[in-house]
Amino acid sequence: MSSLPDSWIFTASCPSRLGTVDVVTRFMAESKNYINEIHSFDDRVSERFFIRIEFQPQGEAFSCDTFKASFDEQFAPRAAEFSMEWNLTEPGHRERVAILVSKFDHCLNDLLFRHRTGQLNIEVPVIISNHPDLKHLAEWHGIPYYHLPITPDTKPQQEAQILELLEQYNIDLVVLARYMQVLSPEMCEALDGWAINIHHSLLPGFKGARPYHQAWEKGVKMVGATAHYVNNDLDEGPIITQGIQSVDHAHYPEDLVSKGQDIERITLFNAVRYHVEKRVFLSGKRTVVFSN
């Protein structure tokens, strides 16, 4: 669904308890916010409540600062009673996304195309790679490209450089767009919760290297891709979304590599979109996704 240009997004989660919805919707009513869409879900296994609201302030003399102040003053204390973690996103807000790549360019090309044409509402202030190959693509889009080569010996330094760049460019979200390096545990920890990776298999199947070759060996008739948050457990981060496609006996491993590119890039795009539209919530090792 396309949001209206003046739509705000409110999200929150907290332990399940009577009154969670009311604490949110009552404030919305009192502040005269017009609600376009609500999605709430109460997970009866994790006993946790999740809510996402798109709304438009209706007050006549609306001021952004006054509005946010009222959230802090009137809403926040009541939310605190419910141990509610909440977030408010202004209309037109664009997350600052750093894209990490190696040599494959299908995901990068796709993200930049959608970025350029407005399908993906983000800023891309920096692209980082361990190879020089995709510099021209970055340049055509006018985006700074950092080539940070990596060897087993220089891994700690290279990762430190990446983290510095993320800080320097004030990055909100890191996207590993077929960045073909196993991150160190320290790097995983540093990126926990704000980095999305695309893995070219239906995780948890075919973890690790060369998943298409593994899939071919097993003679599967479906291959897929998984977009997940990076955490400290390799290829085990919370799954955001997955995509699949049918294959048959005539697809050799190199065909799977080629055919899988469409699924990879669409799956990664969806995950990034869900994330920046505030549709994804962490719930233990799983995610709640209010997709559309």
- Binding interface with a copy of itself (CB under 8 A): 1-2, 4, 18-22, 25-26, 28-29, 32, 34-45, 51, 58, 105-106, 109, 113, 117, 119, 140, 202-205, 217-222, 224, 238-242, 244, 248-252, 254-255, 258, 261-262, 266, 283, 285-289, 291-292
For the bound state, the minimum distance from the C-beta of residue 107 to a copy of itself, rounded and expressed in Å, comes to 11
For the bound state, the minimum distance from the C-beta of residue 283 to a copy of itself, rounded and expressed in Å, comes to 7
Give just the sign of the alpha carbon dihedral 130, 131, 132, 133.
Answer: negative
Distances (CA, A) of 289 to 42, 93, 202, 270, 279: 12, 20, 18, 11, 5
For the bound state, the minimum distance from the C-beta of residue 212 to a copy of itself, rounded and expressed in Å, comes to 13
Q: Which is nearer to a copy of itself, 166 or 282 (CB)?
A: 282
Distances (CA, A) of 131 to 103, 128, 159, 175, 274: 7, 9, 14, 16, 29
CA 233 to chain centre: 17
Distance CA(267)–CA(202), nearest Å, equals: 11
Q: Which is nearer to a copy of itself, 154 or 258 (CB)?
A: 258
Distance CA(145)–CA(167), nearest Å, equals: 15
For the bound state, the minimum distance from the C-beta of residue 96 to a copy of itself, rounded and expressed in Å, comes to 23
Q: Which is nearer to a copy of itself, 44 or 151 (CB)?
A: 44
Q: Where are the beta strands (DSSP E) in 159-221?
A: 173-176, 195-199
Q: Which is nearer to a copy of itself, 164 or 217 (CB)?
A: 217
Residue with tokens 């494959």: 104
For the bound state, the minimum distance from the C-beta of residue 119 to a copy of itself, rounded and expressed in Å, comes to 6
Count of residues in the chain: 292
Q: Please confirm, yes or no, whether 42 is among the known catalytic residues.
A: no
Q: Which one from 110, 235, 248, 262 is the annotated catalytic residue?
A: 235
Q: Which is nearer to a copy of itself, 185 or 204 (CB)?
A: 204
Q: Which is nearer to a copy of itself, 25 or 184 (CB)?
A: 25
CB 173 within 8 A of CB 97: yes
CB 256 within 8 A of CB 99: no
Distances (CA, A) of 171 to 64, 102, 126, 160, 259: 24, 19, 9, 15, 32
Element (H, E) at 96: strand 95-101
Q: What is the DSSP letter of 238?
A: P
Enumerate the active-site residues: 235
